[in-house]
Amino acid sequence: MNLAEFEALLHAQSYGEIVTVDKPVGYQMGLHQHTFDACALITAGEITISVAGVQTRYGVGDIFRLSAGTPHLEDAAAQGVSYRVGRRQIAVA
């Protein structure tokens, strides 16, 4: 999937904010969560996302999704990572 196709998918799925994220070699983020749903296409490097003790590695061309409020770890220490990500804000009741 190319970037234009990916962004069309994000728009179709109501992801309002689309940004590029670059994390350097050595990047690690401890347990945290976001207030938005995320859907990202890896464009360079790779990242490992750990959810509930399960590690999944994503490389160039892979798409990862995280629902708002999902506790997770991020690790791109070996290569760094770049990705295009859509963020869909979740309404608070």
pLDDT attached to residue 1:
86
In this prediction the pTM is 0.92
CA pseudo-torsion sign 38, 58, 43, 80: positive
Where do the domains of the chain lie, and which CATH numbers do they carry?
3-89 (2.60.120.10)
Q: Is the pLDDT of residue 91 over 90?
A: no
pLDDT attached to residue 90:
82
Burial annotation 14-32 (CB, 10 A radius, 16+ → b, else e): ebeebeeeebeeebeeeee
pLDDT digits (tens, 9 = 90+) for 16-68: 899 999 999 999 999 999 999 999 999 999 999 999 999 999 999 999 999 99
- CA dist 86 and 55 (Å) reads 22
Among 82, 63, 3, 67, residue whose Cα is nearest residue 35? 67
Q: Average the pLDDT over 4-16 and give the result.
A: 95
